[in-house]
Amino acid sequence: MHLKVICCKLYISESQNAAVVDAISRIGQKDPEVGLLSKFEDEYYNRVRYTLVSYITSESSTGEAVFSPIRKVLLAMIEAAFSAINLEVHCGTHPRIGVVDDMSFHPLSQAATMEDAAQLAKLVASDIGNGLQVPVFLYAAAHPTSKSVSAVRRELGYYRPNHNGIQWTGQVLPDTLPVKPDVGPAHVSSKRGATMVGAKPFVESYNVPIFCKDVPTVRRITRRVTGRSGGFPTVQALALFHGDNCTEIACLLDPDHVGADQVQWLVEQIAEEQGLEVDKGYFTDLSKDMMLERYFEMVSAAD
């Protein structure tokens, strides 16, 4: 109950090269104190998410993060990604600004705090920005003014596809960034791109497929699902092309405020108005409770 448990979701721009994805997975499984609890790959997005969980210790007098074994594991996975993946030849239907596109840190156990997650996020950001010389943009609790990830992304043109209106191909950022990164150089490598690192409350990922290849139509449905157009205030969502006759609404849900069944129902209602068929949605990761259960099972087995 007193163990501070932290989760990191690491998003890497690759899923079509199985050898690379598996090699990075093996690095994430080397330390017995770090649990690689899940991995989600999507061929169309050409993107993989690794979910890692471990403990964090902090200085009792200052509360500042001191150590977490997850930091070293993440750095090894990131170095492997930069060595094996070239953003210049990457193409997918999910937006991204770099090989290591995003890293989000979340407190899992009751003892862990948002400040713990933010401190760890900033340490890892320094490893990437100052150590590997890749520009890093901080967001949410890791940012000095708690700037949202959406605000960071809008400043960088993250949501604007650069190929056929539905795909992100090659480097999407200019060589010299229009916005000063929080950590690391202002110059961007075309092979590595830039990275976003943040700390925020735990969210669940839920994707709803709509049998429609007209992405703008599904974008209009997506806007009505989110708080920006009268939907659920805590839901963030993107409409992303997902095959010859499918566009997905990829959602991030705050499980304390809205459930996947509510989102599914609303999407179906709006889509029906457009004469569109909706498939059953699916979660792309474990719930918070399941992560804690599996992590403590791992710890108990090691003992």
Catalytic residue numbers, as ranges? 94
Maximum CA pair distance of the chain? 61
